[in-house]
Structure 1
Amino acid sequence: MNIDQLRAQRSSGFRRLRFEPDLERCYRNIRNEGIRERARPVSAAALLLFLVYALLDALILPPSIAGETMAVRLLITCPVIAGVWWLSWRNISPGTFVALYGVAYLIGGLSVVAIIGIARLADHPLPYEGILLMLMFGYFVMGIPFRTVSILSMLVIAAYLAVEAATGMSLRQILVNGFFMITANIIGMVGSWLSEHRQRAHFLDRQLLETSRHQAELESQRKTHLITVASHDLRQPLNIISLVLENLTANGLPEHQARLVSRLKHSVTHFNNLLASVLDVSRLQEGMIIPEPKELSPLEVMQQIAATCSEQAQRQGVELTTETTGQAVGVTADPELLHRVLQNLVVNALDHSNATRVSLGSTRVGEQLVFEVSDNGKGMDGATLDQIFAPFYRNSRHNDPGLGLGLAIVRELTGLMGGACEVTSRPGHGTCFRVSLPAAKAPATATMQHAGNTGHSNRDHCLVVVEDHHEARHWVCQTLTAWGYRVQGFATAEQAVDQWPDLPDTLLVSDIHLPGMSGHGLFDVLQHRHSVAGGILMTANTAHPQGYDPALRLWILHKPLIPMRLRAAIMHLTRSEN
């Protein structure tokens, strides 16, 4: 049933207590299963009630009558009720159980009629209140469907009136008793109709809510799929463009061409930041981002940010520095989200502050580890500070690039990690952003150094590139070769396993999604063979969290690859071997 059919059913009403056939079947299945569960306490209570009545028969009625009435209760009525309770736990269809439940109700009512008849034949008439009790029990306690209980109750009343007529009751008394019995039955029918109508209305409401929720989940899944596909399909060509530009820069172009390449790199970086911001906002709105906190080294986190942003800082003539108090302290955060937060803050300072110096530092304040991104730029006034974290807010609308999402994303991601973000600034005195996160014990670190000051030859390491996209593989290999590494490239994981170089300190640089064996599977095989010193897995699917796993010595990096971050990750793996 779709939501339009449900709404049409609710609009048309159901005074006859019938739905459209498909919906009626669904309702009856749910209703019948509910009756089965309801029958357990009801049958237990009814069994107790009839046992009490059997005891009262023994105490109140003459022995000749009590023997017969107790026999009816104990040999017919109580076994039938006990059978209902037993059947409620058996594996029979709900519809079959409800039919047997109705039969048990009819037998219970007829047994009361039989007891009244036995007493009347012995000239010890009993009142018909027992019949009234059975009627109300069927209508309001047992929960039998309206039509079924109405028909069965009429049969019980008819049997009672027939017994009274057969045992000599006067016509006038039969009419009086019949009037009260039928009146009580009508009251019960009205109450039963209202109860079932209310149950059907609640059923429709629940179905509408469930269908709406299901449609919302499907829509969310479609959006999630769209975001994932868009992310992958846009990042792959950007990855190739970024690598091509890195190689053009490395080839020593003439000055005017070098300026052109620099402008292209800046535009590609800007476009990549815009894409990342839009995708981040979409993922936040769809609830796709779930933090995976770990204990991180603040120094390594800041060095990764410096490596990622140093080229942009150099191009803009800005001094980018990192500072730490030297305290042995860590931070509990999701590595990918923390990198995104600090990168956004540093890029924001580089793009919008007009500063000549940007500093990234960390210090412990109580139980918090506070990252500070400060600059000596133009600063902001109070009105700007009040709106700086609002989505799509831009301080200099005509000159500053971007969508105004970076700082909004910073606050959202920080909040997801259980932290807080604040800013202080004065016009002409620079700006300082502070990100506070839970402090942790200091993890073991392997300090990275800048790529330009390695202290050893890149030729000491061999890098194996596995990428099924031919052009992407070519430009990754070209970039790594230009950086001075020995490089081998393969299109599949199986080729890499078969032709893996027998060299020490070999690193894997692989796409995650490969035909056949995945990048993760390849790294596992190589680790099991003790053939790899570490790895970098690349992916355009942002559902895979970025970051470093020190236990596996494995980096996950998103495409498009930022050359400086790729280089920093390689340097981290090579330096940590020493």
Structure 2
Amino acid sequence: MSNPTVTAATVIDEPALLAQERGFARLRFSAQLEPGFQLYLHAKMCARVKIVAISSISFMLFFMLLDYVYLPHWVSDYTLVVRMIGLLAICFALFYSNRVGKVAPNRAFAVSTLAYFCTGLMIAMVIIVARLAEVSIRVTHDGLYVVLLSGMFLLALPMRHAIVGSGAIVAVYLLAEYAIGSSRALVISNSIFLINFTIMGAFGAYLYEYMQRRAYLNEQLLEAARNRAERESQSKTRFLATASHDLRQPLHAMSLFIQHLYEQVDSPEASKTVARLADSTQLLQAMLNSLLDMSRLSVGMVRAQERSFNLEPWLQQLLDSLEPFASRRNIRLQLRCNKAYAVHSDPLLLERLIRNYLNNALIHAEASTVSIEVQRVDERLRIAVVDDGCGLAEADQERIYEEFTQLRNPARTLDKGVGLGLSICRQIVHLLEYPSGLQSHPGTGSRFWFDVPLGEWQLQTQAPQQQHAPTLSGQVALIENDRVSREAMQALLSAWGCIVWAFESAEEAIRGLQGITVDVLLTDYRLEGERNGLMLVRTLRDQAIFAGPAALVTADTSEDVTEAARLADVELLYKPVLPARLRRVVHNLLALRQ
């Protein structure tokens, strides 16, 4: 059986499809849409081939049996031949017409209509012959009703084909009745019954094709809507990729220039001003990250990369990073977690989730203590961010998850964020499929919790913490096509004690590095020319120009780049990179070279 959803390959937009609703009651689409519907209707006809074949062949064989049993032999010999010819015509039409994609729909409909007419014609001939032979058994035209019923409804022909075939059968039969000298009363009586039956069948055939056209148009509208949604999703994806890259580039250069400026000034007042400028830059960076994260989560660009890791040291490191911010607000941070707990999750998404909950408590809860509590619930660990702040009314507990919603910031001051933190939390728990909830009452604080699958405990050696900014000494190759970012990184690395060889493109770096020896290579991912940053690293290694440690400093946050960097054994830094992190990574890479 053929697939009944075959459609034309022509793509039609939604306005053009909606315009068809005003006129397809005439059973005619536009020239652009009609061929597709003909294919659709042909497929519908083919979907009925089994029931049509069984009923038609059974019908003919049954009447052949009746002819053989009840009609005189000299009559039955004639009628059996006629019915056999009709049976062969039916078989040929079933074989020829029910091949979607191999036979044009108009030919399939024409052949089926011709077979339908021939079948009806042969039934009429049998009736007329029986009348002329004056057989003892009265032969009526009831068989014609069965044929007409099949043509109007069972064959699934277009209305016009069904009406033409049925009308021709009735006309030929009535003319034959008149030709053999049937009484006028009999001809008129048969005409009334058969013509009325044909009219009612035509109305049913009209309704059938009308409903098929409605169904086809609805399917096309759904397909057009799906295509539009896919195009919009792809457009959003391209926009986010472009916006993520283009907006991170100037922020990256800005943060590096600010750090370089901070290390150069001697005046306390100037240092204080530069520090405020750095805070403003970090606030802008946090806002950008929130907007981009929310957009990437909403269009499905984020996929979880889960692994097992130890929870307690990981949470402690997260709290330590927020300790200066909490201290400025006189808020105490606490952690209650068994040191033997391990989870199986995506570390980056889980950090984003918990950090957003913590930031919400630190900024909006008006609390004196914020804690992370972990307890085991069956085969999961329930992680809860708890505060002793002002709490939430029941009416607000759902509203806080709406985008850009802040309950206690009517002035929309930027130091309290943009109102996306909890919205991102909800998107992340849905992505990770974590059960979650909120328990809060006014004046008693809030408890945001979610359940994470248990993981396997990981044996690891704790790396010594760096107490002071590491001193740098070595030669660094820097490949960055953005002039401002290149100058910012070169100035900062030089101020830290590195000798920096800066290049604008991959081709320039390949030529320039052949005559010098460097210890570390830092490259952007998107470069001028045919090669990107990872291709440049592979080329340098293949040509034995540079085989040392390398880092990819990029504003491209796609998972493909992340996986490619991991496979190439290249350190990955996302723009805008914090100067302290850049310094630490370069120090570690220089240590590997030594």
Q: Identify the TM-score tier after normalising by the shorter chain.
A: 0.7 to 0.9
Matched residue type, 2:143: G
The within-5 A match list for 1:34-183 is 34-74=44-84, 76-87=85-96, 88-89=98-99, 91-124=102-135, 126-183=139-196
Matched residue type, 1:519: G
Contact 1:308 1:564 survives alignment (8 Å): no
Matched residue type, 1:559: K
> Is the deviation greater in 472-481 or in 307-316?
307-316
Structure 1 segments unaligned to the other structure (5+ residues): none
- Kindly state the Cα deviation for residue 155 of structure 1 after the two structures are TM-superposed: 1.0
Contact 1:320 1:357 survives alignment (8 Å): yes
For 1:406, which of 404, 421, 425 is the aligned residue? 421
- Kindly state the Cα deviation for residue 303 of structure 1 after the two structures are TM-superposed: 7.5
1:250 aligns with 2:266: no
| SS of 1:22 mapped into structure 2 | coil
> Is the deviation greater in 182-191 or in 561-570?
561-570
Could you give the per-residue CA deviations for residues 347-404 of structure 1, whole angstroms, max 9, x where no partner exists?
44555577898777867654334556677xx733343984654541244555752122
Q: 1:325 to 1:184 in 2, by over 3 A?
A: same
1:470 aligns with 2:483: yes
- Kindly state the Cα deviation for residue 169 of structure 1 after the two structures are TM-superposed: 2.5
Structure 2 segments unaligned to the other structure (5+ residues): 1-11
1:562 aligns with 2:578: yes
Could you give the per-residue CA deviations for residues 275-327 of structure 1, whole angstroms, max 9, x where no partner exists?
22222333344444443434445468558747866786798898989886432
Matched residue type, 1:86: F
Cα distance in 1, alignment partners of residues 430 and 491 from structure 2: 41
Contact 2:391 2:446 survives alignment (8 Å): no
- Kindly state the Cα deviation for residue 441 of structure 1 after the two structures are TM-superposed: 2.0
- Kindly state the Cα deviation for residue 46 of structure 1 after the two structures are TM-superposed: 1.7
Tell me what 1:27 maps to: 37
Matched residue type, 2:75: I
| SS of 1:537 mapped into structure 2 | strand
1:437 aligns with 2:446: no
| SS of 1:509 mapped into structure 2 | strand
Matched residue type, 2:126: I
Aligned residues: 571
Q: 1:438 to 1:182 in 2, by over 3 A?
A: same
Cα distance in 1, alignment partners of residues 498 and 551 from structure 2: 15
> Is the deviation greater in 268-277 or in 59-68?
59-68
Contact 2:540 2:547 survives alignment (8 Å): yes
Tell me what 2:532 maps to: 518
TM-score by length of 1: 0.83
Contact 1:463 1:486 survives alignment (8 Å): yes
Could you give the per-residue CA deviations for residues 172-204 of structure 1, whole angstroms, max 9, x where no partner exists?
322222222112111111111222222223333
Contact 1:308 1:565 survives alignment (8 Å): no
1:344 aligns with 2:353: no
Contact 2:391 2:444 survives alignment (8 Å): no
TM-score by length of 2: 0.81
Cα distance in 1, alignment partners of residues 587 and 324 from structure 2: 16
- Kindly state the Cα deviation for residue 109 of structure 1 after the two structures are TM-superposed: 1.6
For 1:210, which of 206, 217, 223 is the aligned residue? 223
Contact 1:509 1:536 survives alignment (8 Å): yes
Cα distance in 2, alignment partners of residues 215 and 65 from structure 1: 66
Matched residue type, 1:260: T
Could you give the per-residue CA deviations for residues 18-55 of structure 1, whole angstroms, max 9, x where no partner exists?
23433334433322332233345423432233233333
The within-5 A match list for 1:167-566 is 167-251=180-264, 253-298=266-311, 302=315, 305=318, 325-327=338-340, 329-333=342-346, 335-348=347-360, 351=363, 366-371=378-383, 379-383=389-393, 386=397, 389-391=401-403, 392-395=405-408, 397=410, 400-421=415-436, 434-442=449-457, 447-452=462-467, 458-459=472-473, 464-483=477-496, 487-496=500-509, 508-515=521-528, 516-523=530-537, 535-544=550-559, 553-566=569-582
Cα distance in 2, alignment partners of residues 86 and 479 from structure 1: 80
| SS of 1:194 mapped into structure 2 | helix
Contact 1:506 1:534 survives alignment (8 Å): yes
| SS of 1:407 mapped into structure 2 | helix
RMSD: 4.2
Q: 1:236 to 1:63 in 2, by over 3 A?
A: same
Could you give the per-residue CA deviations for residues 124-164 of structure 1, whole angstroms, max 9, x where no partner exists?
36221111111110001111111111111111112212333
> Is the deviation greater in 49-58 or in 154-163?
49-58
| SS of 1:169 mapped into structure 2 | coil
Matched residue type, 2:151: G
Cα distance in 1, alignment partners of residues 555 and 362 from structure 2: 26
Contact 2:332 2:369 survives alignment (8 Å): yes
Contact 1:84 1:104 survives alignment (8 Å): yes
Could you give the per-residue CA deviations for residues 429-471 of structure 1, whole angstroms, max 9, x where no partner exists?
98775553222224565755544469x9754x76543322122
Q: 1:61 to 1:420 in 2, by over 3 A?
A: same
> Is the deviation greater in 418-427 or in 15-24?
418-427
Cα distance in 2, alignment partners of residues 18 and 319 from structure 1: 74
Contact 2:44 2:156 survives alignment (8 Å): no
